[in-house]
């Protein structure tokens, strides 16, 4: 095999596929990136058996072939090669000894037989949806913070993708809060319900350009999901099982509705969090009256009181929350004003818009009222 590349092209390809390199594995071949030019295109592939990524890279094929190279070593060599002599040559012999050269720098490293590499699983392309890269990237950003990273319940480590007709709901929860984003699709599709690992969504959101003009096709099978965009495909295993009955947890009943300027409310909570360490678990207490929300925090570092103008419908209420949960939700809402709906100090608070494009449910915490 003998190939030549512009440095930017191969480095970009390595940045994409390296997201599927496992941090720990007993299978050394999974620590490699496959370079394959046997089909007349140059493809880089990485696969940790849960998630795999393949991307096409622009370059010139002088001799076809394939070789698997240790990912970390390969990436570091390419990254540190001179940018002045930007043409990089990669060749390997029949014993997979690989030469990487650029300008006056020449590296010889030992590769492995590409046939040993685990290719990405084949996915039937019967069931799919299409949306813009911007929309998918935003939906992930607006929900990913609500997944549970360390939980024995695997369902909470993923997000539900639920397709009904011409709408997609993306849902995440961690036992203390729920995030829901509803997306209108351009066409109608078969009903689909799958649980996608949070790690997969986190990594794909880093690769997506976020371009509103570029589309991403998402294909679904029984055990896998496939994302296809630009010159890249990502395949991931799905989380098996029945997701939580989210609609049973949602309610339109409320005793108190507050409308508040999002930026003012967010800024006040942000300031209050200066006094709170994560280990303290000190709540922020909201005291809602006719024309304002009083915010109160007291910790080992000090105390803070603030007031934010608000419009209230219904009863006065005093309720407390983990301030981080409020901040996480408010930060990803684009509306100038937000509506909060509450029943009582023990029941969930809902932050939602009138069109149902987003719903954030946050459970309150116990607190001791102080004068």
- What residue ranges do the domains of the chain occupy? 2-116, 127-248, 250-362
* Residue for token pair 């024309």: 291
Residues 298, 303, 309: CA angle, nearest 5 degrees = 95
Site of tokens 């419009």: 311
How many C-beta neighbours within 10 Å does residue 85 have?
13
Q: Which position has the token pair 């390419």?
A: 78
Fold for domain 127-248? DNA Polymerase III; Chain A, domain 2 (3.10.150)
Instruction: Give just the sign of the alpha carbon dihedral 98, 30, 16, 70.
Output: negative
Task: Please tell me the predicted confidence (pLDDT) of residue 289.
Answer: 94
DSSP assignment, residue 30?
G
**Distances from the Cα of 264 to the Cα of 141, 274, 282, 328, 340, angstroms:** 22, 16, 21, 15, 14
pLDDT at residue 270, as a whole number: 95
The pLDDT score that the predictor gives to residue 150 is: 75
pLDDT value of position 153: 85
Cα–Cα distance measured from residue 93 to residue 150, given in angstroms and rounded to the nearest whole number: 45
Phi, psi of 251 (to 5 degrees): -140, 145
Q: Mapping DSSP to helix (H, G, I), strand (E, B) and coil, where does residue 10 land?
A: helix
- Contact criterion met (CB below 8 Å) for 34 and 68: yes
Q: Report domain 2-116's class.
A: alpha beta
Structure token pair of residue 42? 């140059």
Averages of pLDDT over each 10 residues, the chain, 371 residues: 96 97 90 97 96 98 97 96 86 97 94 93 94 97 93 89 97 96 96 97 95 95 96 97 94 96 97 85 92 93 94 97 96 97 97 96 87 52
Contacts by 107-115 with C-beta closer than 8 Å and gap 24+? Answer: 107/77, 109/69, 109/70, 109/73, 109/74, 109/77, 111/67, 111/68, 111/69, 112/29, 112/32, 112/67, 112/68, 112/69, 113/67, 113/68, 114/34, 114/35, 114/36, 114/65, 114/66, 114/67, 114/68, 115/66
Summary count for the chain: helices (H), strands (E): 6, 24
Q: Are strands 292-299 and 302-314 parallel, antiparallel or unpaired?
A: antiparallel
pLDDT of the residue at 26: 84
The 10 Å CB-count burial string (b at 16+, else e) for 25-59 is: eeeebbbbbbbbbeeeebbbbbbbeebbbbbebeb
Identify the sign of the CA torsion 125, 127, 132, 136.
negative
- Rounded distance between C-alpha atoms, residue 368 and residue 353, angstroms: 31
* Cα(132)–Cα(217) distance, integer angstroms: 9
Give me the torsion for CA of 361, 363, 364, 365, rounded to 10°: -150
CB count within 10 Å of CB 195 equals 22
DSSP SS3 for 26: coil
Class (C level, CATH) for 250-362 = alpha beta
| Residue 335 confidence (pLDDT) | 97
Domains 2-116 and 250-362 in one fold: yes
């Amino acid at each position: 095999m003998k190939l030549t590349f512009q440095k930017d092209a191969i480095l970009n390809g390595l940045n994409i596929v390296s997201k599927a390199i496992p941090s720990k594995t007993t299978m050394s071949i999974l620590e490699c990136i496959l370079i394959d030019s046997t089909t007349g295109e140059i493809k880089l592939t990485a696969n940790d058996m849960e998630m795999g990524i393949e991307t096409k890279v622009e370059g010139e094929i002088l001799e076809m072939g394939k070789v698997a190279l240790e990912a970390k070593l390969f990436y570091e060599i390419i990254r540190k090669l001179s940018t002045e002599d930007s043409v990089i040559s990669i060749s390997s012999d029949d014993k997979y000894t690989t030469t990487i050269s650029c300008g006056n720098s020449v590296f010889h490293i030992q590769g492995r037989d590409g046939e040993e590499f685990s290719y990405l699983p084949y996915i039937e392309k019967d069931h799919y949806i299409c949306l813009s890269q911007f929309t998918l990237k935003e939906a992930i950003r607006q929900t990913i913070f609500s997944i549970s990273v360390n939980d024995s319940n695997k369902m909470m480590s993923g997000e539900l993708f639920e397709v009904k007709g011409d709408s997609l709901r993306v849902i995440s929860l961690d036992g203390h809060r729920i995030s829901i984003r509803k997306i209108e699709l351009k066409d109608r599709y078969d009903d689909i319900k799958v649980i996608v690992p949070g790690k997969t969504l986190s990594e794909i959101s880093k690769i997506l350009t976020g371009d509103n003009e570029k589309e991403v096709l998402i294909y679904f099978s029984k055990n896998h999901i496939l994302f296809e965009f630009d010159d890249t495909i990502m395949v991931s295993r799905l989380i098996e099982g029945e997701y939580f009955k989210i609609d049973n947890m949602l309610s339109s009943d409320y005793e108190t509705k507050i409308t508040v300027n999002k930026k003012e409310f967010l800024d006040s909570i942000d300031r209050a969090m200066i006094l709170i360490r994560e280990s303290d678990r000190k709540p922020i207490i909201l005291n809602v009256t006719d024309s304002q929300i009083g915010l109160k925090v007291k910790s080992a570092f000090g105390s803070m009181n603030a007031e934010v103008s608000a419009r209230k419908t219904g009863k006065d209420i005093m309720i407390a929350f983990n301030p981080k949960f409020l901040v996480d939700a408010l930060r990803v809402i684009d509306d100038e004003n937000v509506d909060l709906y509450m029943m009582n100090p023990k029941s969930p608070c809902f932050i939602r818009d009138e069109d149902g494009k987003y719903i954030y449910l946050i459970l309150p915490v116990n607190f001791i009222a102080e004068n």
